[in-house]
Structure 1
């Protein structure tokens, strides 16, 4: 699955804040840091673990900016 910096993604399990299941990718490298769109907390995963927990890409970084 293709994803990039600043994309909005949906994970398989919701965040405990229960406000949102959507996350923004804020750092990419060997590890990926994502920020909850509901409460603003962030979590870092190794890339392999992130890819296992990723459900789908909801919005690409450059979409809808026109």
Structure 2
């Protein structure tokens, strides 16, 4: 998805592993995501895994120069 885009997925209550891939192809696996909540949103952003956090921080530092 592009920034500010979203997708709605219907899943059965359960615990899932998710593979997140950013626009550069960097992969981040998030294990044991509990998706048994009442119609809540699961928001994935640059803070969703350590690799994405590090890349976001590096980009911010490069843009600040």
Asked if TM exceeds 0.5, the reply is: no
Structure showing greater Rg: 2
TM-score (norm 1): 0.28
TM-score (norm 2): 0.28
Higher helix share: 2
**Structure of greater relative contact order (alpha carbons < 8 Å, 6+ residues apart):** 1
Higher strand share: 1
